Structure 1
Amino acid sequence: MATAERLALLGGAPAVDQPLPHEIWPPPADEAELAEIAGQRNTDISIKGNSGPIGRLETDFLAFLDGGARYAVTFNSGTSALLAAYFALGVRDGVDVVGPALTYHAALSPVFALRGDVVLADIDPDTRGLDPKALQAALTERTKVITVVHQWGHPCDMDAISRIAERHGLRVLEDCSHAHGSRYKGKPVGTFGDAAVFSLQANKAVYAGEGGILVTSDPQVHDRATLLGHYRDRSRDTVLDEDLRAHWVTGFGLKLRMSPFNAIVARHALAAFPARKEARHRCLRHFGDQLGDVPYLEPVQVAAHVDMGAWYGYKPLYRPEALGGVPRSVLVEALRAEGLEVGAPSGPRLSTLPLYARPENPLFPGVPKRGTAPESGSHAAYVEQHALSLPTFTDWPKDRALIDQYAEAFRKIGRHREALVRYAAGPSR
C-alpha cells in the first residue's frame, strides 16, 4: 500500500497539510478598535455608571436583540451575570432550579452560591438542550426557575418550555452563551424568558475578553440584578424601584462591573458579528454537506425553524458500530494523526462533577444539597460519550480547502476501517 494511502497513525501521510491551530480566535483587532482602546486609556479608565463605552455596548446589544428586551446590564463575566440573574429571579435557600444535565458548569453553578439546589433534567438528542418532557418530570414543589441553555448554538424548544413555565408559574432564565445571534422561529434567543445572559468570554462569537451581559424586560429583575453587581452612580441613576434605590450607595455589597476596555472590545466584536456569522454558516454548511457520506458520523442536525447564529464549535456524533466498535479515543487519535484539530467536548455531565455530585454545598459547610440527576442511560450520557468537537471555521472561502481536507481525513479513516480496528485491538492498547 502506498504511504499516502495508509493511515497517518500507521505511517502514512496526513490528509491535512495545514499546520495547527486551525481555529484562531478571537481575531486580531483592527486599527479602529486599537485606537479606541488607546483613546479610552487617556480619557477615563474608571467605571462611571453605564456611561461611555459601557452604555453604548448595552444600547447596541438591545438593538442586536431586535428590541426584544427593555434593559441590559453588563458584568465582568457571564458567570457574574448568571449569579445576578438567579438572585434577581428569587433563588435562595429552599428553591430548586431545573436545568440541563449536559452543559457548561457555570450555567447552573451560581445557584449554589445562593444556597439554592439544582435539579438536572435530561437533554433532547436533537437540540442538545433541555428536553421538555424531562423538564416536566423533574419539576418539584420547590421549583421556581427553569434554566434553558441553547447548547452549542441550537435553540431549545421554547414553545414547549414556555408552556410548561406558564402552566406552573415558573420563571425562565435563558443562558445564551453559545448562541449569539441564534433565532427560534425568527425570534432572537434571549427574548423568550424572564431574563437572559450572554457570556462575552474570549471564545465567544461576540467577545470582550472577559465579560457578560444580562437582558430582561422585567423592571424588578433589572433593579435586583443591577444592585447585586453595581453601586453608586449606576444604581442611583438606573434603578427604578424607590425602595430598592435606597441601596444605591452600596448596592448589595458586591462589585461585578465590566471594564470600559472590555466594553470597547465587545462593541467592535458585535459590529463585526454579521459578516463573521455569515462566513461561519457558509463554512459549516459546506462541512456538513461533505460529512454527509461518512457512515460513522451523524452530522449536526439543524431544525428548519432554527438559525444557529454564531454556532459554537462543530459537534457531530460518532457512531462506533459503523467503525467496528473502535473507541472514540482511538478515532480522535487517528484524526489527530491526520492533522485535524479535534477532541471530545470539554464539558462532562454535571452530575459527574464534585460540585454537583457531592451531598454538601462546599460554600456552606453542613448545608446538604437535594438536587437530582438523570440516569446514566440518558441522552445526556450518550451525547457526552459520542460527541466530537471540531473547529468553528470562519474564514470563507479561504477555509473551504481546509474543510475539504478534514472531510477527506474522515473518509480515509472509513476506507481503512479494518486497519484501525486492528490497531485498537493491538497488545499495546
Structure 2
Amino acid sequence: MTSAEQLALLGGAPAIEQPLPHEIWPPPADEAELSELAGQRNTDISIKGNSGPIGRLEADFLAFLDGGARFAVTFNSGTSALLAAYFALGVREGVDVVGPALTYHAALSPVFALRGDVVLADIDPDTRGLDPTALQAALTERTKVITVVHQWGHPCDMDAILRIAERHGLRVLEDCSHAHGSRYKGRPVGTFGDAAVFSLQANKAVYAGEGGILVTSDSQVHDRATLLGHYRDRSRDTVLDEDLRAHWVTGFGLKLRMSPFNAIVARHALAAFPARKEARHRCLRHFGERLGDVTYLEPVHTADHVDMGAWYGYKPLYRPQALGGVPRSVLIEALRAEGMEVGAPSGPRLSTLPLYARPDNPLFPGTPKKGVTPETGSHAEHAEHVEQHALSLPTFTNWPEDTKLIDQYAEAFRKIGRHREALVRYAADPSR
C-alpha cells in the first residue's frame, strides 16, 4: 500500500495539503473601512445617542430586515442585547422562560440576572432548534417568554411556535445570532417575534468585533430595552413613552452601549454580507454534494422553505454504526491527521452546565431556582443525540478558491471510509 493510500493516522500522507487554519474569520478590512475608522478617531470617539455610525448602522440593519421591524437598538454585545430584551419582555422573579436544551449558553443565561428561571425543552432533529411539541410540554403556569434560537442558521418552525405563543398569550424572543440573512418562507428571521437579537461578535457573518443589536416593532419593548442600556441623549431623544422618558438622565442605571468604532466595522460587514452569503452557499452546496456518498455522515438537512443565510458552521452528524462503532473522538483524531480542521461543536447541553444545573441562582446566593427542566432522560433525546454526534467543520466562504480544499476534505472523509477496518483496529488498541 502506498503512503497516500494509508491513513495519515497510521503513517500515510495526509489527504489535505493546505496548512491550517482553513477558516480565517473575520476577513481583513479593506481601505474604505480602515479610512472610515481613522476618520472617526479624529472626528469623535464618544458615544452620543444614536448619531453618526451608530444611527447609520441601526438604519441599515432595519433595511437588511426588509423593514420588518420598526426599531433597532445597538448594544456592546449580543448578550447585553439579550439582557435588555428579556428585561423589556417582562422577565423577573417568578417568570419562566422556555428555550432549547442545546444552544449557546448566552441565549438564555441573562434570564438568571433578572431572577427569572429557565425551562429547557428538546430540539427538533431537523431544524436543530426548539421543537414545538417539546415546547408545548414544557410550558408552566409561570411561563411568559419563549426563546427561539435559529441554531447554526436554520430557522425554527415559526408557524407552530407562534401558534403556541398566541394560544397561551406568551411573548416570543428570537435569538438570530447564527442566522444573519436566514429566511423562513421568504421572510427574514428576526421579524417574527416580539423582539429579536443578533450578535455581532467577531465570529458572526455580520461582525462588529463585539456588539449586538436588538430589533422590535413594539414601542414598549423598544423603550424599556433602550433605558436598560442607554441614558441621556439616546433615551431623551428616542424613548416614546412619556413616563418612561422621565428616566432619560439615568436610564435604568446601566451603560451597555456600542462604540462608534464597532458600528463602523459592522456597517462594512453588513454591506459585504450579500456577496459573502452567496459565496458561502455555493461552497457549502458543493461540500454537501461531495459528501453525498459518505455513508457514515448524516448530511446537513435544509428544508425547502428556508434560506440558511449566514450558514453559521457546517455541522453534519456522525453515524458510528456505519464506521464499525468507532468513537467520534477517534474519527476526529483521524480526520485531523489527514489535515482537516474539525472538532465537536463547543456548546454542550445547557443542563450539563453549573449555571443551569445547580439548584441555586449563583448571582443571588441562597436563592433557589423554581423553574423546572423537563430536559432530562428521553425528554431531550434529540439534543443529546446532536450533542454526541455532531461534527464541526469550517464555514467555507471563498468561492471558487475553496473548491480544491473542499474536494480534499471530501476525499479525506472517503479515505477514512475506505480504511474502516484499520480505524476500527486502531480504536480497539488500548496502547495507541
How far is 1:351 from its partner? 0.1
CA deviation vs aligned residue, 1:327-358 (integer Å, no higher than 9, x gap): 00000000000000000000000000000000
C-alpha contact 1:101 1:373 (8 A) present in aligned 2: no
C-alpha contact 1:113 1:363 (8 A) present in aligned 2: yes
Are residues 1:121 and 2:124 paired? Answer: no
Relative distance call for 1:377 and 1:383 in structure 2 (3 A) is farther
CA deviation vs aligned residue, 1:170-201 (integer Å, no higher than 9, x gap): 00000000000000000000000000000000
CA deviation vs aligned residue, 1:96-116 (integer Å, no higher than 9, x gap): 000000000000000000000
Is 406-415 or 372-381 further displaced after alignment? 372-381
CA distance in 2, matches of 1:123, 1:94: 25
How far is 1:57 from its partner? 0.1
Q: Counterparts in 2 of 1:16-415, with a 5 A limit?
A: 16-375=16-375, 377-378=377-378, 379-415=382-418
Q: TM-score, normalised by structure 1?
A: 0.99
CA distance in 1, matches of 2:282, 2:175: 25
How far is 1:374 from its partner? 4.2
How far is 1:376 from its partner? 5.1
CA distance in 1, matches of 2:147, 2:269: 26
Alignment identity in percent? 92
CA distance in 1, matches of 2:192, 2:11: 53
How far is 1:377 from its partner? 4.7
CA deviation vs aligned residue, 1:3-57 (integer Å, no higher than 9, x gap): 1100000000000000000000000000000000000000000000000000000
User: Can you give the 5+ residue segments of structure 2 that lack an aligned partner in the other structure?
Assistant: none
For residue 197 of structure 1, give the secondary structure of its aligned residue in structure 2: strand
C-alpha contact 1:16 1:339 (8 A) present in aligned 2: yes
CA distance in 1, matches of 2:155, 2:185: 10
CA distance in 2, matches of 1:272, 1:288: 24
CA deviation vs aligned residue, 1:354-386 (integer Å, no higher than 9, x gap): 000000000001110123334555500000000
Q: TM-score, normalised by structure 2?
A: 0.99
For residue 228 of structure 2, give the secondary structure of its aligned residue in structure 1: helix
CA deviation vs aligned residue, 1:137-161 (integer Å, no higher than 9, x gap): 0000000000000000000000000
C-alpha contact 2:119 2:374 (8 A) present in aligned 1: no
CA distance in 2, matches of 1:375, 1:106: 18
CA deviation vs aligned residue, 1:249-306 (integer Å, no higher than 9, x gap): 0000000000000000000000000000000000000000011100000010100000
For residue 97 of structure 1, give the secondary structure of its aligned residue in structure 2: strand
CA distance in 2, matches of 1:194, 1:276: 29
CA distance in 1, matches of 2:331, 2:370: 38
C-alpha contact 2:120 2:375 (8 A) present in aligned 1: no
CA distance in 2, matches of 1:299, 1:333: 20
For residue 118 of structure 1, give the secondary structure of its aligned residue in structure 2: strand
CA distance in 1, matches of 2:191, 2:161: 14
CA distance in 2, matches of 1:297, 1:377: 25
C-alpha contact 1:53 1:260 (8 A) present in aligned 2: yes
C-alpha contact 1:120 1:371 (8 A) present in aligned 2: no
CA distance in 2, matches of 1:374, 1:122: 9
CA distance in 1, matches of 2:177, 2:262: 17
For residue 377 of structure 2, give the secondary structure of its aligned residue in structure 1: coil
C-alpha contact 2:351 2:375 (8 A) present in aligned 1: no
How far is 1:427 from its partner? 2.3
CA distance in 2, matches of 1:261, 1:4: 49
CA distance in 2, matches of 1:94, 1:230: 26
How far is 1:428 from its partner? 1.6
How far is 1:2 from its partner? 1.0
For residue 33 of structure 1, give the secondary structure of its aligned residue in structure 2: helix
Residue correspondences, number: 429
Relative distance call for 1:383 and 1:377 in structure 2 (3 A) is farther
C-alpha contact 1:236 1:245 (8 A) present in aligned 2: yes
C-alpha contact 1:239 1:245 (8 A) present in aligned 2: yes
CA distance in 2, matches of 1:393, 1:376: 35
For residue 148 of structure 2, give the secondary structure of its aligned residue in structure 1: strand
C-alpha contact 1:194 1:217 (8 A) present in aligned 2: yes
C-alpha contact 1:101 1:374 (8 A) present in aligned 2: no
For residue 326 of structure 1, give the secondary structure of its aligned residue in structure 2: coil
For residue 98 of structure 1, give the secondary structure of its aligned residue in structure 2: strand
CA distance in 2, matches of 1:355, 1:144: 21
C-alpha contact 1:71 1:216 (8 A) present in aligned 2: yes
Give me the CA root mean square deviation.
Answer: 0.7
Relative distance call for 1:319 and 1:374 in structure 2 (3 A) is farther
Is 372-381 or 17-26 further displaced after alignment? 372-381
CA distance in 2, matches of 1:113, 1:88: 13
CA distance in 2, matches of 1:295, 1:109: 38
CA distance in 1, matches of 2:299, 2:269: 28
CA distance in 2, matches of 1:376, 1:286: 38
User: Can you give the 5+ residue segments of structure 1 that lack an aligned partner in the other structure?
Assistant: none
